[in-house]
Structure 1
């Protein structure tokens, strides 16, 4: 990850205690991972880093937005991103990242890169179905949305209420009701 050196954390020279790192994640960050579903982004990542003699605790806090297309109207909008992620880094004989919240790195390592964790957390924080907020509150006006409303399947009961019923049919309904309420004698 030579292009993402700014995400390297060299922990060997840091004193024990709390440290803080901040990153601004923009479109070029996702381009590095060949992820093309975001058209733009502005996400601030605050990394609280607690160094102990035996382990490292990382707490990521994300806030900002990514620009995505609406799945209903295909309009671009800014999807808010507010999430967090915790990671514990321990030292062992060999590298192991099988557990998503625990990373084991070899004793000889003096740094590690957090770019992959930042990338995965942001991508997973975005909802699977992306709907422009204007679709839900009715403020978005687009040709696609108008066409969808036009083609929407109407509720059958709603359609029946709209139609004027011939009064002669109402009299027939009364006959059926009277028959059902009798004692079974005709």
Structure 2
């Protein structure tokens, strides 16, 4: 992963209260992670940082589109994606990011890197099943040709197994 400096937020000079940060994400962002599953990417990240005396609250909101293939038709389409995530940043002796929604920074830290959290939020917000709006669950011409070829191949080399014949006779008796 290549670290991108625009995703480092210095919090030392900020006053207590809410601060807004906006990021525009494109394909170059995912290239830094060497993630090539998305062809075209257009996301807007809204980050609300709330600075308190002992901790930071980071509220991420992602909205945008990603170009992916449809699982049914294999046609490329723009899938709308949205998601949200809240990260609590506390301060301690050493760095610790073992928990997914809690980050511990050393007391002398002056900035927080949000690049990894944005990446994970986007990737996890994209659904596993990607179906183009209006796509029908019908067999395409290519699927029908494959089915015909399989039926033709199976019809020529059909051998009966006597065990199945016995079971079929039981079904016929019902």
Q: TM-score, normalised by structure 1?
A: 0.73
RMSD: 2.2
Does the C-alpha gap of structure 1 residues 77 and 2 become closer, same or farther in structure 2, counting only changes over 3 Å? closer
Q: How does 1:1-186 map to 2 (within 5 A)?
A: 3-136=3-136, 145-148=140-143
Does the C-alpha gap of structure 1 residues 129 and 15 become closer, same or farther in structure 2, counting only changes over 3 Å? same
Higher helix share: 1
Contact (CA 8 Å) 2:38, 2:67: kept in 1 or not?
A: yes
Distance 1:148 1:27 in 2: 33
Distance 1:106 1:86 in 2: 20
Residues 47-72 of structure 1 deviation map (CA, whole Å, 9 limit, x = unaligned): 00000110000001111111111222
Distance 1:122 1:110 in 2: 26
Q: Which runs of 5+ in 1 are unaligned?
A: 139-143, 154-186
Q: Which runs of 5+ in 2 are unaligned?
A: 149-174
Q: TM-score, normalised by structure 2?
A: 0.78
Distance 1:80 1:150 in 2: 33
Distance 2:145 2:64 in 1: 35
Distance 1:49 1:126 in 2: 24
Q: CA deviation at 1:152?
A: 7.2
Q: CA deviation at 1:40?
A: 0.7
Query: Which structure's CA Rg is the greater one?
Result: 1
